[in-house]
Amino acid sequence: MLDFSESNILVLGDIMVDHYVVGSVHRMSPEAPVPVLEQESETYKLGGAANVARNIVSLGASATLVGIIGDDTFGKMVYKLCEKSNIELEAISVDEKCTTVKSRFISGSEQLLRLDRENSNPISSDVVERILNRIEALALHQKFDAIILQDYNKGLFTSDLIEKVISLAQSNQWIIAVDPKIESIEHFTHVDIFKPNRKEFFALAKKLNLAGELEVSLPQALAIKEHMLCKSLWVTLGEKGVYYHDESGNEAIVPTTTNNIVDVCGAGDAVISMITLSTIKNLSSEKIAILANLAGGLVCEELGVVPVRIEDVNQRLST
């Protein structure tokens, strides 16, 4: 039985709200060649880095979330949703920013449209200092086992913030895990867990002028690890599973066993959460990859962004 109850994780990243409008389509609009969605339900959930924190809590650990929100209705909603999910929220309110919201319009299992409300301009140096001061204050009163840097390219992770927060994490001896986006990927150096997805991995390989291949190769992995100065490399490969190259030089592609894929949204959040928590427990890389596949697969079996639950993981492990 997995038990992560003693782990405490700091999550820093782009905070979002996932908004779902679910209904049925029975006709086309007379105004334009588009379907008319007759609304049946409307829900709001934590998204982005907030969903990573939600996964951490749902896996039985404790999570503190740091990020930026706007001084708006959705920012207030983030506080309420975090309180409901037992997440300690330490948000920085920024006047020139709006809280990021992704609205998805769904009929049956089909997503008809996604509408994004966001301001992705880079944060100012003043906001960088406010974030660092908040993390330093938290570190004085709490013992964190790890920090997850969760990037969605919404303007939070400037090169200055990345450099300073990694230095701060190192001084506190936290495990540093990164789920990057390609726009700022090369700034996330000297981390313990570096987890790009397949697209990000090959984009970085192309930047480094590495020979293009259809699948992740050992030469590419070694070059990227050397360039990023990371201890372990984890690449999510979608339906093909997870590739890892760990600190000891072990590598493998561990295939997924999930067949019932309904929705891939949020799978990466579950994977980085599971890899981080399992690393804290000093599990083997092969075991971590199996658990990461299981976590991502469980999320994919449900419609919409949902967290992976520790009871579901333990149940699957026992069967």
Q: Which residue has the tokens 């992976």?
A: 308
The Cα 283–Cα 278 span in angstroms is: 6
Torsion of CA 61, 66, 67, 68, to 10 degrees: 130
CB atoms inside a 10 Å sphere around CB 138: 15
DSSP-derived 3-state class of residue 68 = strand
200-210 b/e (C-beta count within 10 Å ≥ 16 → b): bbbbbbeeeeb
Q: For residues 60 and 32, give the distance between their C-alpha atoms in angstroms, rounded to a whole number.
A: 48
CA distances to 138, 153, 170, 261 from 75, in Å: 21, 18, 30, 32
Active site residue 269: yes
For the chain, the straight-line distance linking the first and the last C-alpha, in angstroms and rounded, comes to 12
The active-site residue, picked from 14, 18, 246, 269, is: 269
Say if CB 24 and CB 37 are below 8 A apart. Answer: yes
285: Cα within 13 Å, side-chain hemisphere: 20
Give the sheet arrangement for strand 8-13, strand by strand: 88-93, 62-69, 8-13, 146-150, 175-179, 193-194, 232-236, 242-245, 251-254
Catalytic residues: 269
